[in-house]
Each structure stands twice: as structure tokens, then as C-alpha cells.
Structure 1
């Protein structure tokens, strides 16, 4: 399966897709960084901030004013690890870390955008927004059916200026229409919500350098997330329960998003919780109901 997915809970989206053996499609930033030497600079968040004229500097250069947002300059594991708002000089002193940076604290909608790029030119967009629930966690993401003109205008110009020569998927995270992170991959959390034929179009993009996808039937979807408290060593739900939840009306797929055999503290997780499951669905009420059934399992299955 040359769609290179290391998370076993996400191989379900790609295992039946035909893909040439010599084509490698990344879903991990580590692979994307390795396979795209010309454009790997986009993983430098300080460089991305500077490319947009945002106020930013590495730790060691104190901000002129507060609040600012602090995070690692590089973080290929994601999940908001090490990120926080700094509201004062005392916060800055306490948070100081080598290899971290601060930048303008942006306001506005936090959007994740997947873009199909051909030689730096955006050919397809899909946007999702998350409802934050604190300390780097999200209650759910909505995969929108509609366009985001402000994001597409700013980010489209940025892609044409900085990604010439690149063909493939790009995921941009934006706040208030400004880019906070760039990933040379797509968001593999919800490809089933993009519609029938999307994975085949993805393969064609990398294999032939062209984008062809009938997106006329797109509709909104939801990715409902279950976080549990840090600390316990959780167990996977029984296979029968997983099948039951995945087959509920309005539910598209279920992901159990941790490695049972790996210690909890070896997973990259945000400060606010340990992510145990994701329910992709077309009906958010159905997703919420499925989440509560899973929550009951995990509350009773702590080691």
C-alpha cells in the first residue's frame, strides 16, 4: 500500500486503493519532510510566520509585547505538543525552551484546509473547522461543504509564491486566514468524508501529476473526538463493540487512536487529554451518541 500510513486505525481508508508500487504518498510529516527536500522548509514554523510578515522570533529574543503564541519551531508529531499562549514576561520566562518560538497571537476561525496542488497551483480545496475544548484538545471537527474565500485567497497566493514545482497534497492550518502550520500531506483523519473516488483521485495526483475528481456530491461531515484523562493505560474496545458503533446509522467510520501495547506517555498527545477514539459521521448527533458509548467503555476499562 504505497499510501504510507503508519497508524493502523487509518489504513481502513486506503487498503483497497490501487496504487503503483513506485508511488509513495505520505500521510506522516516525517515522510513528507524526507521526500520533499526542496520544499521541506515549510516545516519551519518561524520561516512560515516570516513569509507572511507576522511578528515572530525564537525564544531568546523577547517579545516587545504580549500576548503572543509559543510553540516548537519544528514539530513533526503535531497534536499541539509544547504550545501555549504567553500573556506576560513572567510567562515567557517560565516557558522558555531551546528550539521554541513565539509569534503573533492570531484571532479568528481555526481552519484546517486540504489542497490538491499541481506545480504550486491549488486545484481543489476542502476545509474543516474544529471546536476546541481546551489545552490542545477538540470536541469535534466539521468538514465543510462550502468554500472559505478569505482562506483560499490568501493561502492560494502563498502557495503560488512558495510552492512552485510542488505537486501533491498540502494541508494548511490557519487562524483568521493566516497560516500557522504547513504540512506536505493531507489530513488522514477524515478522507472517507471527502466522498467516493477521492482516494483514487489522490493516487492519480501523485502518479500522473493531475487532479481529476467529481466533487459535485460533496456534503458536510463531522469528526467527533473522544479524549480521556492522561495516566491510565487504556484498552481497546472489543471488536464486536467497534463493529457495532461503525455500523450505526449516520456513522461513516471509527478509529481507535492509540497503540494498546505502547505506554501512554510515549504517545504524542496534547496537554488536555489522551485521544482514544474518533468517530467520522454524517450526522453529529449520531457521532455524539457513539462517543458516549465509547466513553462508557473506556471509563470501565482503565488498567
Structure 2
């Protein structure tokens, strides 16, 4: 056993986390050398060949009886929603509403598909599976701010019986043989995306001992985690306008933010040295920071301070 070690992509490590702003959640957790836990969809794809088909969003839609087809097969009516069949980088890249036939013609892209336009709450659910059987759920509700961006996510303490019943049945049918964490994104209780990994944006809000339980699941095939004291948390997101280069806040400002009562952690979610255009970002903005917190007012205040920093230090690309 040893402490989890994080390196750039290409080196084998027990927990693969390539985003340096998220290593803070795992760096002190012991993990066997032989256990590999993905936090990136590209690694989950490589390490789970039997179940990698779930990254085919068209197949996932059809598996639920939703209307869907690749571009080139015209919808019978509108509106519809369009996105890439595969997108392992996430962030809503290439997704859009198709309101009319003219929209469909303009939106045509090889490798994209359209599907039923779903309505309802956008929920991200982490699920612990043993041989396809769900044994633990945690749900986060996204509050959208437009064009693929989110104002904040609410990590709920309560269960979501409708999602757990419907999606649990889907897991038993389609993920038998899989043991590990998955992340399901749903709208109105219907699955829009499946990831063979957990949401590494807010593991600190799941409670003490959760990451250790994840390691045990992958190492021994056993899920043991007692969290009766779970409480709601919030992941407050800061998007800035496209077209600028942004600078990381100083260490003093970062420390001031994380020391604020009610704040759990801070992520600065971009590589300062990498051109902005090389980051996968949604149409509505460039994500610069995430504040995880127990008190949303404290998270909002921290976000406002960070926004002032990024506005004051940005430069044209």
C-alpha cells in the first residue's frame, strides 16, 4: 500500500487524475499498486472494453425507447436536441437545440445525432455498482445558466426514488458484470449520458471516508460506506467570456477563499499556460473556477471575488 501518486497522462497510477486542480481530493488516500480507478472517460474506455459501448449516446438513447437517429436521418418533427454520438471530453461541446428543419440542415455534422428533446431537472448521479447492482446513490441537480453552462450544482442529501428505480433497472439490464462507480446524467429521469467513472468535481462533499470506500470497491469488489450524516452541498461554477486569456489567482487569494467558513474547496479549472482554444468548453463560456461549499451564500461570495480577479487580470487572446 502507498499514497496515491498523480502524474501526467501516459504513466500508470492507481487513481488516474490528469486535472491538477482535483488531485487535492485523492493525494492522501492509500491505494494498492494493482488498482486502477478512472476519473477520465478516456481511461474508463480503455479499462472497460466490455462496457465501453455506453459512451455511444445514440445507443443509450435507443436503449430507453427514445426517438433518436444519426444526422442524415431527418426527424419527423421538431424540436429535437443534437449532439455528438461520442464526446469523451464532455462540457457539452457540439450540442444544440434543433427547433426547425432549417436548424437541422444548418446543424448537420457527420458523427452527430438528434434525439427527443427532454424536459425536467438535469441530474448527475454517482452510483456504486457490484455486478451491475446499484448499492449506493448520490444525486446532484444542475441549475443551468444557458448554452451548456451551469450556475451551480446542488449535491443533495435526499434520495431520488424515481431515478433510482428507472435507472437502477437499466443498470441491472445493461451493466451486468460491471463493478465500480458510474455517473449517470439524466433529464426528467431519462439517461442522456453514462460515464464509467464518478464525478470528480465534488468528492469532498460526499463525506469523510467516501474515497476510501471507492478504493475498497475497486480493490475487493465490496461496497461498504456508511453515510447516515450526509448533508447537502453545492458546487458553484464560474464561467468567464470566451476570447480572453486568464491568469490564476495568487496563492494568498486561493487560501483566503478556502478558509472562508462554509467553503470546502476551490478548483481553478484551466491550464494557464495552454491556449484557451485548446480547452474543451461549452458555447456559453470558459470555465475558470469551481467553489465547493456547504453554504451557497458563502460559495457565491467566493465566486464574486474570483470573478473580480479574472476580470482585472484577463488579456486578449
TM range (shorter): over 0.9
- SS of 1:50's partner is helix
**What is the rounded CA distance, in whole Å, between the counterparts of 1:203 and 1:141 in structure 2?**
25
Any unmatched runs of 5+ in structure 1? none
- SS of 1:34's partner is helix
Count of residue correspondences: 303
What is the CA-CA distance between 1:214 and the residue it aligns to? 1.2
Q: Which residue of 1 aligns with 2:102?
A: 90
Matched, 1:279 2:291: yes
What is the TM-score when the length of structure 2 is the normalising length? 0.95
CA deviation map 1:182-216 (0-9, x unaligned): 00000000000000000000000000001000111
Q: Which residue of 2 aligns with 1:238?
A: 250
What is the CA-CA distance between 1:225 and the residue it aligns to? 0.3
CA deviation map 1:247-270 (0-9, x unaligned): 100000000000000000000000
Which of 119, 123, 127 in structure 2 is aligned with 1:115? 127
Q: Which residue of 1 aligns with 2:148?
A: 136
Matched, 1:220 2:201: no
- SS of 1:300's partner is helix
Q: Which residue of 1 aligns with 2:18?
A: 6
1:3-42 pair list within 5 angstroms: 3-42=15-54
What is the CA-CA distance between 1:121 and the residue it aligns to? 0.1
CA deviation map 1:6-47 (0-9, x unaligned): 000000000000000110000000000000000000000000
CA deviation map 1:256-298 (0-9, x unaligned): 0000000000000000000000000000000000000000100
What is the CA-CA distance between 1:3 and the residue it aligns to? 1.2
**What is the rounded CA distance, in whole Å, between the counterparts of 1:225 and 1:169 in structure 2?**
24
**What is the rounded CA distance, in whole Å, between the counterparts of 1:301 and 1:19 in structure 2?**
40
- SS of 1:225's partner is strand
- SS of 2:31's partner is coil
What is the CA-CA distance between 1:115 and the residue it aligns to? 0.1
**What is the rounded CA distance, in whole Å, between the counterparts of 2:172 and 2:87 in structure 1?**
24
**What is the rounded CA distance, in whole Å, between the counterparts of 1:243 and 1:269 in structure 2?**
26
**What is the rounded CA distance, in whole Å, between the counterparts of 2:84 and 2:68 in structure 1?**
12
**What is the rounded CA distance, in whole Å, between the counterparts of 1:5 and 1:265 in structure 2?**
22
Any unmatched runs of 5+ in structure 2? 5-13
**What is the rounded CA distance, in whole Å, between the counterparts of 2:244 and 2:119 in structure 1?**
35
- SS of 1:154's partner is helix
Matched, 1:294 2:306: yes
**What is the rounded CA distance, in whole Å, between the counterparts of 1:20 and 1:111 in structure 2?**
32
Matched, 1:67 2:45: no
- SS of 2:184's partner is strand
- SS of 2:97's partner is strand
What is the CA-CA distance between 1:162 and the residue it aligns to? 0.3
Q: Which residue of 1 aligns with 2:223?
A: 211
- SS of 2:265's partner is strand
Which contiguous aligned blocks of 4+ residues in structure 1 show a shift greater than 4 angstroms?
none
**What is the rounded CA distance, in whole Å, between the counterparts of 1:217 and 1:179 in structure 2?**
28
- SS of 2:178's partner is coil
Q: Which residue of 1 aligns with 2:183?
A: 171
- SS of 2:287's partner is strand
